[in-house]
Amino acid sequence: MKHFFAIVFIVFFNSSFSQELFPNTEPASTMPKGVLGIRAILEDYKEFSQSRNQFSLRLMYGITSRWSFYAQPMVSNHHGDLLPLGFLTHTHVGNSTIFNAANIYGLQYPYTFSGIYFYSKYRLLNFDGDDRHFRVSVYGEYAYSKVAHDEAEPDLQGDNGGYGAGVILTGLKGRLAVSFTGGFIIPNSYSESRTEPYYGSYIFQTSLNYGNAIKYDLSFGYLLYPSKYESYDQSNINTYMEFIGRSYGAASVTQNGEKAEIKSPALQAGNYVEVRPGIQKIFNSNARLDLSVGLNLINRSWSHFTPLFMIGWQRYFFSLPKKTSRRPIIE
Amino acid sequence: MGANPYIYIMKIHYQILIFLLFWGTILSAQVASVSIGIDGLHCSACSFGTEQSLRKLDFVDNIKMDLNTHIAEVSIKAGKKVDFVALAKKVVDAGFSVRSMYVIYDFNNLSVSSNFCYDDKNLVFSFIGIKDPQVLNGKHAIHLVGSDFMTKSENKKWKLMINNSCNTSSDPTKKVYQVTL
């Protein structure tokens, strides 16, 4: 393992181009002014026999050269309309969810609109040099969501409404791009009223306050091909190694006005680091195809299972003024 | 009797010759192209974005971008007024910085020295930092000086040499650019 990191380190620092188009995190660089970008993201993981998918469509716009804005609606089969029964005691073992000792399964949910996520990033500082730069940006994020997420860990991209903010530092030298994101997430609480036929149409009210979270992500990017650029048509291959870190507080649950006893580890405070190796192909210096897989490194996420597969496709649309028509030549 | 047709034709030829000479002078004394060195660029997608940003300017004819040295050779539409600050702004709009900007200018036996003001049809060049007077004839690259056209550290070196004596009283729309060789 030591040798592997040494080789990676040497390769990274001895080359002359680098990439920071990270598949799983945002770099401190912002979008070009007046340019529209579209990104489609499909995430997949397995929960027992169920394949859990989320499809996101991210619309991105460069308001100024320093200020970008994104809007991202999402559709997934991660959650039902209401919290699963037994969510207070459920646990995850491997890729299975155990609601009680006799009942091991992944619940089947239909695809539903899970929410919309907004993100804005402002580049505060940039130090540009020949084939290098260092940039610092701040970001804010806000999400609307009504899905019945039943774990303490908040995620504004699909699971929770709420807001967050943070700072991004991205350095680029030679073939290596390194980026750190540090931020916080304050999720909204969730509440529901359900009628329980078992108790004779008794109305059961549940309110769930998720834990606040801090995030600490570290991403490395490396240009694998080409060693020398020849034209815009030439495909580029980039590789990435991203470390996604989260630390979050415990959830609290109130049922019919009384604080419920939480037995589920998924509703308690936690932290984890996931490693997400990825590969990317750039077409015609504009469109890009990303593939990555998330694997547990330290502890585990309780809001999703691993391996977490991600496939993303993105391209920019540059608005060009229409060419003025030439005057007709009268002979 | 009317005028000798031979002399009449000669007169026309003479006028055409005068016009062509004059036109030739106008054409020769103009910006041929601009070479922009761009900092902070790395990927070809970033070069592509910068090129698209520059192409939005109506006086830009074509761009040849070197994807390895990150130098954009911008050719200018004939007869169009060039705004070098607008070119620099488009690089910044794309998210990058101007390292250097050279104007490839077609001169016609012009003697230049420090603090010399050259009044072009569309702009004024204020020459600075020239040790020995020189005669410029044909295409020459002249280096634009100022915070829009170079790195911060480079700009600091030139700051004290700026010459503000060139005026544009004949046409206030003209811009004065500090340049060196």
CATH number reported for the structural domain that contains residue A290 in this entry? 2.40.160.40
- Inter-residue contact A58 to A50 (CB < 8 Å): no
The helix (H) or strand (E) run that includes residue A311 is: strand A308-318
Q: What's the confidence (pLDDT) of residue B28?
A: 36
Tokens of A269: 């405070």
The reply to whether A325 falls in a domain is no
- Name the residue of chain B whose CA is nearest to A37's CA: B49
The reply to whether A326 falls in a domain is no
pLDDT in tens, B55-71: 999 999 999 999 989 99
* Lookup result for tokens 């054409």: B27
Res. A86 pLDDT band, cuts 50 70 90: confident
Q: What's the confidence (pLDDT) of residue A184?
A: 98
Asked if B43's CB is within 8 angstroms of A223's CB, the reply is yes
The gap between the terminal CA atoms of chain A, to the nearest Å, is 77
Asked if B93's CB is within 8 angstroms of A19's CB, the reply is no
pLDDT in tens, A187-238: 999 999 988 766 666 778 999 999 999 999 999 999 999 888 889 999 999 9
Evaluate if residue A13 carries a pLDDT over 70.
no
| B62 CA: distance to closest CA in chain A (Å) | 13
Q: Name the residue with higher pLDDT: B101 or A318.
A: B101
| A138 CA: distance to closest CA in chain B (Å) | 16
Asked if B43's CB is within 8 angstroms of A17's CB, the reply is yes
pLDDT in tens, B26-54: 333 488 899 999 999 878 889 999 999 99
Asked if A65's CB is within 8 angstroms of B95's CB, the reply is yes
- Name the residue of chain B whose CA is nearest to A174's CA: B42
Most confident stretch, A169-178, A268-277, B111-120: A268-277
Please tell me which of the candidates B49, B58, B99 has its beta carbon nearest to residue A316: B49
* Chain CA centroid to CA A257, Å: 34
Q: What's the confidence (pLDDT) of residue B12?
A: 54
Lowest mean pLDDT among A138-147, B87-96, B154-163: B154-163
Please compute the mean of the pLDDT values over residues B151-160 and round it to a whole number: 90
Task: Calculate what percentage of chain A has a pLDDT beyond 70.
Answer: 87
Could you give the dihedral angle defined by the CA atoms of residues B49, B55, B61 and B64, in that order, rounded to the nearest 10 degrees?
A: -10
Q: What's the confidence (pLDDT) of residue B21?
A: 43
pLDDT in tens, A289-300: 999 999 999 999
Could you give the dihedral angle defined by the CA atoms of residues A302, A195, A115 and A212, in that order, rounded to the nearest 10 degrees?
A: -40
Evaluate if residue A48 carries a pLDDT over 70.
yes
Asked if A132's CB is within 8 angstroms of B40's CB, the reply is yes
Number of domains into which chain A is organized: 1
pLDDT in tens, A112-165: 999 999 999 999 999 999 888 999 999 999 999 989 999 999 999 999 999 999
Please compute the mean of the pLDDT values over residues B173-177 and round it to a whole number: 87
User: Among residues A275, A190, A177, A186, which one has the least CA distance to residue A220?
Assistant: A177
Best residue in B43, B60, B150 to probe A by mutation, most A CBs within 10 Å?
A: B43
Please compute the mean of the pLDDT values over residues A69-82 and round it to a whole number: 94
Res. A72 pLDDT band, cuts 50 70 90: very high
The reply to whether A10 falls in a domain is no
Tokens of B21: 């000479």
The reply to whether A4 falls in a domain is no
The reply to whether A231 falls in a domain is yes
How many Cα neighbours within 13 Å face the side chain of A231?
A: 3
- For chain B, list residues whose CB is within 8 angstroms of any CB belonging to chain A: 39-45, 47-50, 52-53, 55-56, 58, 67-68, 70, 92-97, 99
Q: Name the residue with higher pLDDT: A173 or A65.
A: A65
Residues in chain B closer than 8 A to A17 (CB atoms): 42-43
* Lookup result for tokens 């002249």: B142
Evaluate if residue A180 carries a pLDDT over 50.
yes
- List % helix, strand, coil for chain B (3-state, nearest 5): 30, 35, 35
Q: What is the CATH number of domain B5-180?
A: 3.30.70.100
Asked if A21's CB is within 8 angstroms of B45's CB, the reply is yes
- Inter-residue contact A39 to A73 (CB < 8 Å): no
Q: What's the confidence (pLDDT) of residue A15?
A: 38
For A89, residues 6+ apart whose C-beta sits below 8 A from its C-beta are A99, A100, A263, A264
Asked if A236's CB is within 8 angstroms of B43's CB, the reply is yes
Give me the helices (H) in B31-171, please: 44-54, 84-93, 152-158
- Chain mean pLDDT for chain B: 83
| B35 CA: distance to closest CA in chain A (Å) | 16
Asked if A285's CB is within 8 angstroms of B44's CB, the reply is yes
Evaluate if residue B97 carries a pLDDT over 90.
yes
For A280, residues 6+ apart whose C-beta sits below 8 A from its C-beta are A19, A21, A23, A236, A237, A238, A239, A240, A288, A289, A290, A291
Q: Which domain holds residue A114?
A: 16-318
Chain A stretch 236-255, residues whose beta carbon is closer than 8 A to a beta carbon of chain B: 236
Q: What's the confidence (pLDDT) of residue B13?
A: 58
Please tell me which of the candidates B39, B42, B95 has its beta carbon nearest to residue A32: B95
Evaluate if residue B86 carries a pLDDT over 90.
yes
The gap between the terminal CA atoms of chain B, to the nearest Å, is 61
Three-class SS state of B154? helix
Q: What's the confidence (pLDDT) of residue B22?
A: 41
Tokens of A9: 């380190």
Q: What's the confidence (pLDDT) of residue B146?
A: 93
Lowest mean pLDDT among A82-91, A265-274, B83-92: A82-91
Residue A320, chain B, CB below 8 Å: the answer is yes
Residues in chain B closer than 8 A to A129 (CB atoms): 39-40
Please tell me which of the candidates A19, A32, A64 has its beta carbon nearest to residue B43: A19
Q: What's the confidence (pLDDT) of residue B122?
A: 81
The reply to whether A1 falls in a domain is no
- Inter-residue contact B76 to B34 (CB < 8 Å): yes
| A45 CA: distance to closest CA in chain B (Å) | 31
Residue A233, chain B, CB below 8 Å: the answer is no
- Name the residue of chain B whose CA is nearest to A235's CA: B44
Residue A105, chain B, CB below 8 Å: the answer is no
Q: What's the confidence (pLDDT) of residue A122?
A: 98
Most confident stretch, A78-87, B24-33, B92-101: B92-101
- A to B CB pairs, distance under 8 Å: 88
| B88 CA: distance to closest CA in chain A (Å) | 13
pLDDT in tens, B12-23: 555 554 444 444
- Chain mean pLDDT for chain A: 87
* Lookup result for tokens 């155990």: A98
